Chain A
Amino acid sequence: MLTDKVLDNLPFSIRRRLEPYIEAVQVMTETSNPKVLRAMAPSGVRGLILQRGKQGVPTKMPSHHQTHFDWTYPNDQPEMRDLYTRAKEQQWNGEDLPWHIDVDPENPEVPIIPPEFMSYDELRGMGIKLTELEKHRLNASVGAWMLSQFLHGEQGALFAAAQVTEAVQFFDGKLYGSTQVVDEGRHVEVFHRYLDTKLNKLYQINDNLFVIIDALIQDSRWDLKFLGMQIMVEGLALGAFGTLYQMTKEPLLKELLKKVIQDEARHVHYGVIALRDHFQNELSESEQREREDWAFEVALLMRNRFLSYEVYEEWFEHKITRKQWAHMVSHSPGFEIFRQVMFQRLVPNLREIGLLSDRIKPHYERVGLMQYFDGRSADHLSGDELIAELDAA
């Protein structure tokens, strides 16, 4: 690409300054649907260009949704009522996790993520030779980075769940939504406690994750909030948690993730049943097209850009280019598995809510995501089944 050639010819210090912005422009220009671009561009500017999530002050995001009251209290969605009952029965207390376990993130015997997660050979090819201790530390950093992003995502989910509970028009959905707000609060609590007291390290929010949260919190359309949070973020989180659950040897984190995954399975299930009928019956063709494209763009953003740049900035910014890092991370064994499991969960849910029409399928095919098309969607998969599947894998 032309920009790559220009970048390659720039002095390292100049390149380092420009690279994130050129990448941001690339992300935005790659969006083909103008409505999606219009909806996402302000969030893109705030997240990728102005880096509002990293300015060191609380971020204030206005919300534009309507709160939907119903004074007749209808029993309108039995499947949601059932989820509500299950959610009440399955509440757990974050205090009960085995917090007494002493966590040493650098202990190679009990790694947070497996030693072969990153591609050290490729790093060596770039002139970076790490000692064994440095490798353990880098792995611990990547683990802390992933968990930090989970935490930031959970904060987004907490507020989005509250907004969705206000905006949704199903009364049973509102009751269920109240449990999800509690769930997300608990997730924030346990992830934060783990990072704070066990890893004592917290990374800034990834700019791309900020863009997604910013876009869906500020969007006035309830179904887009639902799609963004319940299907995309929660779905991808479910995949990410599952991957980490499988990979980690750290017993406290494993137990924590097991509990969180069981909650998340309900959350995605709720998203699927709330959106399925709405997308198939209530939306015009162009509205449906816009949501399809939005979901595809967000999926791509998560797949291509969620590359632990904050770890790069911490460790290697003075040594290699952002592009080199992105290449290394994209091809590292851990991230490949990570992406695979994430989309294995996401794609069947998109199919189930009707956002994988014949029009969009070739796009998913092109980026290699159609292989997950026939998987089981969240409404056919309980938390226990998910854990059993992960344990068996």
Chain B
Amino acid sequence: MLLDRTRGKTPAPLIEKLPSPTPLDEVDPLVLLPRRLADRVRTAHRDVAMLGGRLIFGKTPAPLIERPQRAPGAVVSLARKAPHMTRTVEVVDVVRETADAVSIYLTEEDGSPIEFKPGQFLSVDVTVDGQTLRRAYSLASACLPGVPVHITVKRMPDGRVSNRLNDTIKTGDTLSVLGPSGNFTIEPRSLNERHFVMLAGGSGITPIMSLLETVLHHEKRSKVTLIYGNRGWDDIIFRERLARLSERLGERLVIDHVLEKPPTGWSGGEGLLSDDVLLERLDALGIEDDGMLRYFICGPTPMMEAAHEVLNRRGVDAARIAEERFTHPEDRHAGLGSAKTELVVISKGGSDHGVQVAPGQTILEAALAAGLDMPFSCAMGGCGACRVRQRSGDIQVEEPNCLSRSEKEQGYVLTCVGRPLAQSRIEVEGS
């Protein structure tokens, strides 16, 4: 201070603002004790917690010491790594459908065709910037012998996988896939005479395409009315294929294109597939619900909600509506489960198996890594194949997923996107 004064510096006239004091209720009272005594109290507290936890709550201290998640590229042993659930399929052809959509034709690695039901999807793993991302893509081809099998991928804004596939996929590449999965399907029977109303928006056409081609091939007396919404004429995926099909099948396939930005002279439906537009198109097409119609809907969430609203208003029983929802990956609420390894006891086939689920790991991954034969298919919460009943504990399931509200209320969880928050018990039903 004296030195500063001699240099001509004067002390600041105002006292600098001091940090505000810690509120009393946030002060650890032990800091008021001498350090050695405070240490003893803390130790005694831990001792009592350990003893009480074990004796009263039956809680055994975790046998393993938590390891930090290893950085990418570090050596990770298979001991905690999920086994390979995916398989490799070959890309045998790539066809550009629109400026923003590409069809990728696939076979199994040995060249045999991929077996699936119409409307089902593949879970595709793609590694982007060192991170493996899993996405669902519908098999859009007719489910018929000799027809090449393909998925169709539409470029999504900021979609890391869809853009990567649109930009780089080529014949001769391979993809890691799971499935086919999904219950958005039809069991065609040649004797049937049915009328299907199919509502598709944008890339929602992909499972619908497979459904309508397959069912119209097998059921010669059935018909399909397709209301198909797109932004513009050039955005219509499978436009030519649908036109050819319609020409061949005549009245059995009615296609109603609805365009948000129609070209000049357009006489068809206009606008987004909102409830008003949908009602108008159904009326315009003369669709009267006779209590027998079956509805298949797939598209963006607002369109799906509008479709449900309209069908509900028309008195359509929910049991006659099938839908396929694909969530935008960025909208998914991941949830990493517990920060420590948790025990999950899995009752299966009359016996119990204890499985340690590491932080971040799903129950399915841990169970498969433990050698358990678990049911699963898409491994991304979309098909329900891995549905189990939670008997105790706390399990966090990624949202959204394919479980209905009533399934959730009954205590069902999905192991593929389920992570324990505490020691839990689940039951694999029907095993």
A residues apposed to B, CB below 8 Å: 13, 16-18, 20-21, 49-52, 54-57, 60, 102-107, 127, 129, 131-134, 137, 140-141, 144, 148, 196-204, 310-311, 313-319
Q: Which residue of A lies closest to B340 (CB)?
A: A56
Q: Are B79 and A199 in contact (CB under 8 A)?
A: yes
Q: How far is the CA of A317 from the CA of B154 in the complex (A)?
A: 50
The 0/1 profile, CB within 8 Å of A marked 1, for residues 102-139 of chain B is 00000000000000000000000000000000000000
Q: Are B76 and A200 in contact (CB under 8 A)?
A: yes
Q: Are A200 and B60 in contact (CB under 8 A)?
A: no
User: Given the complex, which residues of A lie within 8 Å of B62, measured CB to CB?
Assistant: 54, 204
Whole-angstrom distance between the Cβ of A154 and the nearest chain B Cβ: 15
Q: Are A201 and B78 in contact (CB under 8 A)?
A: no
B352 at the interface (CB under 8 A from A): yes
Please, could you name 24 A-B residue pairs with CB atoms under 8 Å apart, sorted by A?
A16-B60, A17-B58, A50-B50, A51-B61, A54-B61, A55-B47, A103-B77, A104-B77, A105-B78, A132-B371, A144-B79, A200-B76, A200-B77, A200-B79, A203-B64, A204-B61, A204-B62, A204-B63, A204-B64, A204-B65, A310-B63, A311-B63, A318-B352, A318-B354
Segment at the interface with A among B67-75, B197-205, B397-405:
B67-75
Q: Which residue of A lies closest to B75 (CB)?
A: A197
Q: How far is the CA of A204 from the CA of B356 in the complex (A)?
A: 15
Q: How far is the CA of A315 from the CA of B343 in the complex (A)?
A: 9
Q: Which residue of B lies closest to A317 (CB)?
A: B60
Q: Which residue of A lies closest to B54 (CB)?
A: A17
Q: How far is the CA of A319 from the CA of B352 in the complex (A)?
A: 8
Q: Are B50 and A201 in contact (CB under 8 A)?
A: no
Q: How far is the CA of A203 from the CA of B64 in the complex (A)?
A: 4
List residues 369-403 of chain B with CB under 8 A from any CB of chain A: 369-371
Whole-angstrom distance between the Cβ of B59 and the nearest chain A Cβ: 9
Q: Are A140 and B64 in contact (CB under 8 A)?
A: no
Nearest first, the 4 closest Cβ-Cβ pairs linking A and B are A133-B371, A310-B63, A54-B61, A313-B63
User: Given the complex, which residues of B lie within 8 Å of A105, measured CB to CB?
Assistant: 77-79
Q: Are A129 and B351 in contact (CB under 8 A)?
A: yes
The one of B54, B61, B64 in contact with A201, judged by C-beta atoms closer than 8 angstroms, is B64
Contact status of A197 and B74, CB under 8 A, knowing A54-B61, A317-B354: yes
Q: Are B371 and A137 in contact (CB under 8 A)?
A: yes
Q: Which residue of B lies closest to A195 (CB)?
A: B67
B55 at the interface (CB under 8 A from A): yes
Q: Which residue of A lies closest to B55 (CB)?
A: A17
Q: How far is the CA of A50 from the CA of B78 in the complex (A)?
A: 34
B345 at the interface (CB under 8 A from A): yes
Whole-angstrom distance between the Cβ of B30 and the nearest chain A Cβ: 14
Whole-angstrom distance between the Cβ of B81 and the nearest chain A Cβ: 9
- Given A105-B77, A106-B79, A132-B371, output 5 extra A-B contacts at Cβ < 8 Å: A107-B78, A201-B67, A201-B79, A202-B67, A315-B354
The one of A13, A50, A140 in contact with B47, judged by C-beta atoms closer than 8 angstroms, is A50
Summed over the interface, the residue pairs from A and B with CB atoms below 8 Å come to a total of: 102
User: Given the complex, which residues of A lie within 8 Å of B78, measured CB to CB?
Assistant: 104-107
Q: Select the residue from B47, B54, B78, B345 with max chain A CB neighbours within 10 A.
A: B78
Interface size bucket, B side? 20 to 34
Q: Are B75 and A313 in contact (CB under 8 A)?
A: no
The 0/1 profile, CB within 8 Å of A marked 1, for residues 324-353 of chain B is 000000000000000000010100000110
Whole-angstrom distance between the Cβ of A264 and the nearest chain B Cβ: 24
Q: Which residue of A lies closest to B77 (CB)?
A: A200
Q: Are A134 and B77 in contact (CB under 8 A)?
A: no
User: Given the complex, which residues of A lie within 8 Å of B345, measured CB to CB?
Assistant: 318
B314 at the interface (CB under 8 A from A): no
Q: How far is the CA of A137 from the CA of B83 in the complex (A)?
A: 13
User: Given the complex, which residues of B lie within 8 Å of A51, measured CB to CB?
Assistant: 50, 54, 61
User: Given the complex, which residues of A lie within 8 Å of B61, measured CB to CB?
Assistant: 51, 54-56, 204
Q: How far is the CA of A313 from the CA of B58 in the complex (A)?
A: 12
Whole-angstrom distance between the Cβ of A276 and the nearest chain B Cβ: 38
Q: Are B354 and A316 in contact (CB under 8 A)?
A: yes
User: Given the complex, which residues of A lie within 8 Å of B371, measured CB to CB?
Assistant: 131-134, 137
Q: Are A314 and B356 in contact (CB under 8 A)?
A: yes
List residues 8-27 of chain B with CB under 8 A from any CB of chain A: none
Q: Are B55 and A137 in contact (CB under 8 A)?
A: no
Q: Which residue of B lies closest to A52 (CB)?
A: B47
Q: How far is the CA of A129 from the CA of B370 in the complex (A)?
A: 13
B51 at the interface (CB under 8 A from A): yes
Whole-angstrom distance between the Cβ of B373 and the nearest chain A Cβ: 8
Q: How far is the CA of A42 from the CA of B83 in the complex (A)?
A: 46
User: Given the complex, which residues of B lie within 8 Å of A60, measured CB to CB?
Assistant: 39
Q: How far is the CA of A21 from the CA of B67 in the complex (A)?
A: 28
Q: Are B370 and A137 in contact (CB under 8 A)?
A: yes
Whole-angstrom distance between the Cβ of A163 and the nearest chain B Cβ: 21
Q: Are A49 and B65 in contact (CB under 8 A)?
A: no
B239 at the interface (CB under 8 A from A): no
Q: Which residue of B lies closest to A107 (CB)?
A: B78
Q: Are B77 and A203 in contact (CB under 8 A)?
A: no
Q: Are B354 and A319 in contact (CB under 8 A)?
A: yes
Q: Which residue of A lies closest to B47 (CB)?
A: A50
List residues 71-95 of chain B with CB under 8 A from any CB of chain A: 74-80
Q: Which residue of B lies closest to A315 (CB)?
A: B354
Contact status of A203 and B70, CB under 8 A, knowing A105-B77, A144-B79, A197-B75: no
The 0/1 profile, CB within 8 Å of A marked 1, for residues 189-215 of chain B is 000000000000000000000000000
Q: Which residue of A lies closest to B62 (CB)?
A: A204
Q: Are B370 and A57 in contact (CB under 8 A)?
A: no
B261 at the interface (CB under 8 A from A): no
Whole-angstrom distance between the Cβ of B92 and the nearest chain A Cβ: 33
Q: How far is the CA of A141 from the CA of B351 in the complex (A)?
A: 22
Whole-angstrom distance between the Cβ of B343 and the nearest chain A Cβ: 8
Whole-angstrom distance between the Cβ of A50 and the nearest chain B Cβ: 5
User: Given the complex, which residues of B lie within 8 Å of A103, measured CB to CB?
Assistant: 75, 77
Q: Which residue of A lies closest to B68 (CB)?
A: A196
B96 at the interface (CB under 8 A from A): no
Whole-angstrom distance between the Cβ of B345 and the nearest chain A Cβ: 6
Q: Are A202 and B352 in contact (CB under 8 A)?
A: no
Q: Are B75 and A102 in contact (CB under 8 A)?
A: yes
Q: How far is the CA of A220 from the CA of B354 in the complex (A)?
A: 44
The 0/1 profile, CB within 8 Å of A marked 1, for residues 34-62 of chain B is 00000100000011001100110010111
Q: Are A199 and B54 in contact (CB under 8 A)?
A: no
Q: Are B51 and A201 in contact (CB under 8 A)?
A: no
Q: How far is the CA of A107 from the CA of B83 in the complex (A)?
A: 13
The one of B58, B70, B75 in contact with A13, judged by C-beta atoms closer than 8 angstroms, is B58
Q: Are A200 and B63 in contact (CB under 8 A)?
A: no
User: Given the complex, which residues of A lie within 8 Å of B39, measured CB to CB?
Assistant: 60
Q: How far is the CA of A286 from the CA of B276 in the complex (A)?
A: 100
User: Given the complex, which residues of B lie within 8 Å of A127, measured CB to CB?
Assistant: 351
Whole-angstrom distance between the Cβ of A101 and the nearest chain B Cβ: 10
Contact status of A16 and B75, CB under 8 A, knowing A51-B50, A200-B70, A315-B354: no
Q: Which residue of B lies closest to A144 (CB)?
A: B79
Q: Select the residue from B62, B65, B67, B354 with max chain A CB neighbours within 10 A.
A: B65
User: Given the complex, which residues of B lie within 8 Å of A199, measured CB to CB?
Assistant: 77, 79
